A = this chain, B = another copy of it.
Amino acid sequence: MSTAVSPLAPKSLTPMPVIDGVRLATASAGIKYKGRTDVMMMIFDEPAAVAGVFTRSRCPSAPVDFCRANLSNGTAKVLVVNSGNANAFTGKKGKEATTLTAETAAAAAGCGTGDVYLASTGVIGEPLDASKFAGVLADMAGQAKPDFWQDAAKAIMTTDTYPKVATRGATIDGVSVTLNGMAKGAGMIAPDMATMLSFIATDAAIAAPALQAMLSEGVGESFNAITIDSDTSTSDTVLVFATGKAPGQDRVTEPDDPRLDDFRAALHALMKDLALQIVRDGEGARKMVTVNVTGAESDRAAFEIARSIANSPLVKTAVAGEDANWGRVVMAVGKAGEKADRDRLAIWFGDIRVAFQGERDPDYSEEHASAVMRQDEITIRADLGIGDGQATVYTCDLTKEYVAINGDYRS
């Protein structure tokens, strides 16, 4: 298994400011491997407003169930994330492990279990020994510090080849606020799952319902617009915490309050930044692909078509082979099941239009199209020519390395 950093990784790690009211810690609890940093805690000096979105999988993990149940309380005091074990498909024992972890975390943070949030990533189906947390969580609560974002991001990695952090600033009613985020996902070892986790904290003072509205609005064009291999995890989790500690910023409660406009934009930009970092770490990835669909019957149809292209093994292997194979893009448009008129379809690779009015472009140049395909970042655009619907989905190529990572290693 290659441990080389993805060729698409950012050139350097982003320096992260602190978020008032947020402290972080990491520890080695020996969940799967001894000596490996496998637990991360984010603890809030005072209960923070919380919002979350989770996998739509019909077989969600125990921690996902737990978080969903707590979300209506609207406040969070502590988040505990472990790698090494997803605590998914672990039946009653899994639920008990979650309960035990939550009780231990609540005791460490000085709150009730209703203010605890959990996430786990790693092996599916192995019971999680929650007693391993018992020895570390209290210490972590005491040692957690504000200036620890990059270390925390490293602790939640499973086979990511680099830690994923991002930061944005925004203004609410003239007051400067900061948003920090971390994410993990798309790096994989066999037999573990590609679980996507992302945690965002801000010092802004925003009520939970407004936070939830902005989070839910933003996933469509960020975390839900990426695909590595179409395999949706049992455990995907995105949580946003707002501590309200930004000096002099009056708490905003309504989702449509215009004072939130700048914050909303910053939050969505942060989410997209993290989501694209996940794509760049797709296992075996060497090329990042942006799929734009325009002219579809509706935005929803455009999204389905974009996803069809982004999930097509034939399109993705062609990208890996630097093959300007637009015929496969046609195929993927056709198979999406959305309204299409073959004779109005046009396709571009980068700025090169390769197909127009239902056939190969008269000015088609194999040389120019191939030059586009040799880049690290490629845009594929399909215009359906039948409406105004548009959407963008991000993915990466499908390489032998992906197969090696996911098939060569026995559980």
Binding site for B on A (CB under 8 A): 55-60, 88-94, 123-127, 190-191, 193-194, 229-234, 311-314, 317-328, 330-340, 342-343, 345, 355, 357-360, 366, 370, 397-400, 402-404, 406-411
Q: Which residues of B sit under 8 angstroms from A359, Cβ to Cβ?
A: 89-94, 125, 127
- Nearest first, the 4 closest Cβ-Cβ pairs linking A and B are A124-B327, A91-B359, A59-B334, A321-B407
* Shortest CB distance A366–B (Å): 8
Known: A231-B335, A340-B59. A191 touches B328 (CB 8 A): yes
Pair B57/A231 contact, Cβ less than 8 Å:
no
Q: Which residues of B sit under 8 angstroms from A342, Cβ to Cβ?
A: 58-60, 89
* Shortest CB distance A68–B (Å): 13
* Shortest CB distance A162–B (Å): 22
* Chain copies in the assembled complex: 2
25 A-B Cβ contacts within 8 A? A56-B335, A58-B335, A58-B337, A58-B338, A59-B334, A59-B340, A89-B358, A90-B358, A90-B359, A123-B327, A124-B327, A125-B359, A127-B359, A194-B314, A229-B314, A230-B312, A231-B313, A232-B335, A233-B331, A317-B406, A321-B406, A323-B407, A323-B411, A366-B411, A403-B403
Known: A321-B408, A327-B191, A360-B125. A334 touches B91 (CB 8 A): no
The main secondary structure of chain A at its interface with chain B is: loop
